[in-house]
Amino acid sequence: MATILGKESGLNLKETELCLGLPGGGGVGGGGGGGGGGGSSEVETPRATGKRGFSETVDLKLNLQSKEDLNENLKNVSKEKTLLKDPAKPPAKAQVVGWPPVRSYRKNMMAQKVSTEDVAEKTTSSTASGAFVKVSMDGAPYLRKVDLTMYKSYKDLSDALAKMFSSFTMGNYGAQGMIDFMNESKLMDLLNSSEYVPTYEDKDGDWMLVGDVPWEMFVESCKRLRIMKGSEAIGLAPRAMEKCKSRS
């Protein structure tokens, strides 16, 4: 959730500036991306608990105020979603508040889907050209399917999974998106936390921590993905490290 919240201030202020110059007076229509109109997929802030904590303190301000208020209002506007996804890439053109006239609820749902386009879920699942694997996350009521050939690295996969399962973060991984197996203490930290970690079932039927082998090898051997709490994955670590050491 830290990764998602971090996007609030920078991205959305830009939105505001761009919006001011629109024709027709630029009042409400141009006022602010914070209104959650066309740009809602970019500016909606996910809320962990869905509480309207700020609405009482903000005291009824319109979504056009100073940048400060805008930030506060951004949090209020997204009150309907408890599972908002990471914002999609910023649009080339500024979005107008409330245009096109699509309800926020629907826009949010579509924003999730647009951002998972990378995941090729829309295509018919022909296994001929892709490497489709089921992805499940502990606690989520449904599975997903991803085509591993759509990604070039663990980072790509991690981003896509983050979008699909919002409470999943891979933030604790190193820059390459791979667990540093040589750093035992760091690894242990992760596995002791309640953070989610991705695991996979390989060709041998063993469950491994994702990231233990080079990416290409992973794509070939991964049969199924499962995202579980770090504390549950702890049993996998020693074996993962063994395999890793034996391969390098």
Instruction: Report the distance separating Cα 133 and Cα 220, nearest Å.
Output: 11
SS3 content of the chain, % helix, strand, coil (to 5): 45, 10, 45
Distance CA 85, CA 67 (A): 23
Specify the 3-state DSSP secondary structure of 147. strand
Q: Does 144 bind another protein (CB under 8 A)?
A: yes
Cα angle 124-157-89, degrees, rounded to a multiple of 5: 85
Least Å distance, CB 231 to another protein, is: 20
Q: To which H or E segment does residue 145 belong?
A: strand 144-147
Among residues 73, 166, 169, 199, which is the contact residue for another protein, using CB under 8 A?
A: 73
Q: For 21-36, give one letter per residue: b (16+ CB within 10 A) or e.
A: ebeeeeebbbbbbbbb
The stretch near another protein (CB under 8 A) out of 4-12, 58-66, 195-203, 231-239 is 58-66
Q: Which is nearer to another protein, 17 or 242 (CB)?
A: 17
Is the CB of residue 136 less than 8 Å from the CB of residue 199?
no
How would you classify residue 146: left for phi > 0, otherwise alpha for psi between -120 and 50, otherwise beta?
beta
Contact mark string toward another protein, 172..211, x via CB under 8 A = ----------------------------------------
Single residue of 7, 79, 186, 239 touching another protein by CB under 8 A: 79
Question: Which region among 16-24, 165-173, 177-185, 206-214 touches another protein (by CB under 8 A)?
Answer: 16-24
Q: How many residues bind another protein (CB under 8 A)?
A: 69
Contact range with another protein by CB under 8 A, out of 1-9, 115-123, 187-195, 212-220: 115-123
Distance between CA 215 and CA 248 in Å, rounded? Answer: 14
Smallest separation, CB 33 to another protein (Å) = 10
Region of 49-57, 173-181, 198-206, 209-217 interacting with another protein (CB under 8 A): 49-57
Positions that interact with another protein (CB under 8 A): 22-31, 35-38, 40-41, 49-52, 55, 58-65, 73, 76-77, 79-83, 91-93, 95-107, 109-110, 113-114, 121-125, 134, 136, 141-145
